[in-house]
């Protein structure tokens, strides 16, 4: 059996079965999702993290590329109770270390009790506990990955849906899932995907009907250029955001964010709409949250479990953001109408601009 060691912050070392060789380090987190492992593993929001699956068997319906959310696996390593051969071979081909025969119940309990933690992984024929501990020693906190956007963003602008007749969306790619772009294209939008560090002039050149800040990994305060874009455009252009995008919008408009103990990662997070009283089930993947929205924003939806903000709207600006993933993939499709609301907001602003001023 291939040796596999997982060194946890605090000094405890777990031993498991190696399924894909290599060494890695990252923030240890868990997801409660029981399906959607392909989407989770290709979600850029897991960059610089080690993903633990709480569901005991991962891979029972194979690996299909059409379900991928990006062009590669993003977690630095993967832990599970049991991985099928399909998933193990996929991770091996991606050079992502994988360990199973781990008691993931204990791992999840440790994370819930102590919070997300640093860890080091070593998998191979001749690795030792010391190799895993050496990786742990070099592991950085998530907030210290100050340019993590460069690891997950497009390098140059890309246009999708060029032949569509709907609104023009400037999507700032801080680690966007592919299904976000798909959801906008399906609604007849033309989507200009910009790098996470795009300039105001870059974005202004396409005359967007809406500025859309994507999901992504890491601490929102490190996405300084995206914050600047929101500050510059919000008075004249509708602004939308998902996940990290909600946090960036809050930072830009006078609010604040904070790191959560272990975050929300799964496909069954209940969210309460404060106006309608309706509860919907949502897909989530984030370790930071909005602490205070600031005077320009108001919280419109909250997480039923811990009251953290899940939806934020503008008080004086056209702003709508969601902490969860309305596009799902994987997960429930209760909130797909978010994209309709975003484009309706953009269309309404465009229509109002088209009305000539009275003499």
Q: Are strands 82-83 and 57-58 parallel, antiparallel or unpaired?
A: parallel
Phi, psi of 291 (to 5 degrees): -85, -45
Of 39, 47, 251, 327, catalytic = 327
Distance set, CA 63 to CA 104, 185, 217, 342 (Å):
22, 25, 24, 33
Q: Is 288 annotated as a binding residue?
A: yes
Q: State the alpha helices, DSSP H only, in the chain.
A: 37-41, 85-93, 104-114, 129-137, 149-152, 178-185, 200-204, 224-233, 244-252, 337-354
Q: Is 216 annotated as a binding residue?
A: yes
Of 192, 264, 286, 325, catalytic = 325
C-alpha 77/C-alpha 150 separation (Å) is 20
Q: Is 55 annotated as a binding residue?
A: no
Q: Is 287 annotated as a binding residue?
A: yes
Give yes or no: 325 in active site: yes
Cis ω on the peptide bond leading into residue 271 (within 30° of 0)? Answer: no
Q: Is 256 annotated as a binding residue?
A: no
Q: Which residues does 173 contact at the CB level (< 8 Å), separation at least 6?
A: 152, 153, 154, 193, 194, 195, 196, 214, 216
Of 243, 264, 296, 310, catalytic = 243
Helix 178-185 vs helix 337-354: crossing angle, to nearest 10:
50
Give yes or no: 243 in active site: yes
Q: Is 324 annotated as a binding residue?
A: no
Residue 183 burial by Cβ neighbours in a 10 Å radius (0-12, 13-18, 19+): buried
Q: Is 247 annotated as a binding residue?
A: yes
C-alpha 5/C-alpha 316 separation (Å) is 53
Which residues line the annotated binding site for L-glutamine?
45, 216, 218, 244, 247, 285, 287-288
Catalytic residues: 243, 325, 327
Which residues line the annotated binding site?
45, 216, 218, 244, 247, 285, 287-288
């Amino acid at each position: 059996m291939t040796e596999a060691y997982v060194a946890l912050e605090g000094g405890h070392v777990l031993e498991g079965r190696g399924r894909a060789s290599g060494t890695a380090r990252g923030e240890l987190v868990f997801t409660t999702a029981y399906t959607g492992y392909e989407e989770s593993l290709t979600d850029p929001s897991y960059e610089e993290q080690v993903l633990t699956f709480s569901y005991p068997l991962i891979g029972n319906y194979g690996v299909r590329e059409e379900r991928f959310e990006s062009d590669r696996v993003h977690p630095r390593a993967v832990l599970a109770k049991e991985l099928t051969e399909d998933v193990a071979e996929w991770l091996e081909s991606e050079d992502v270390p994988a360990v199973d025969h781990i008691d993931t119940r204990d791992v999840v309990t440790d994370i819930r009790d102590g919070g997300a933690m640093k860890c080091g992984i070593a998998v191979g024929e001749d690795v030792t506990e010391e190799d895993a501990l050496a990786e742990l020693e070099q592991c950085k906190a998530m907030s210290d990955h100050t340019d993590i956007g460069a690891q997950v963003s497009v390098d140059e602008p890309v246009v999708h849906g060029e032949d569509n007749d709907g609104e023009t969306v400037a999507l700032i790619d801080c680690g966007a899932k592919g299904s976000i772009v798909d959801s906008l294209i399906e609604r007849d939008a033309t989507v200009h995907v910009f790098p996470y560090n795009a300039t105001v002039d870059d974005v202004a050149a396409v005359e967007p009907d809406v500025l859309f800040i994507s999901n992504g990994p890491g601490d929102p305060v490190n996405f300084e250029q995206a914050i600047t874009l929101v500050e510059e455009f919000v008075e004249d252009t509708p602004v939308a955001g998902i996940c990290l995008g909600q946090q960036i919008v809050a930072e830009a408009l006078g609010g604040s964010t904070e790191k959560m103990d272990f975050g929300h990662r799964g496909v069954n997070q209940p969210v309460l709409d404060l106006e309608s009283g309706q509860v919907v089930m949502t897909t989530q993947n984030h370790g930071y949250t909005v602490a205070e929205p600031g005077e320009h924003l108001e919280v419109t939806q909250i997480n039923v479990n811990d009251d953290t903000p899940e939806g934020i709207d503008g008080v004086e600006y056209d702003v709508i953001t969601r902490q969860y993933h309305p596009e799902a993939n994987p997960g429930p499709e209760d909130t797909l109408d978010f994209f309709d609301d975003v484009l309706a907001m953009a269309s309404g602003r465009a229509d109002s601009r088209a009305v000539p001023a009275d003499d």
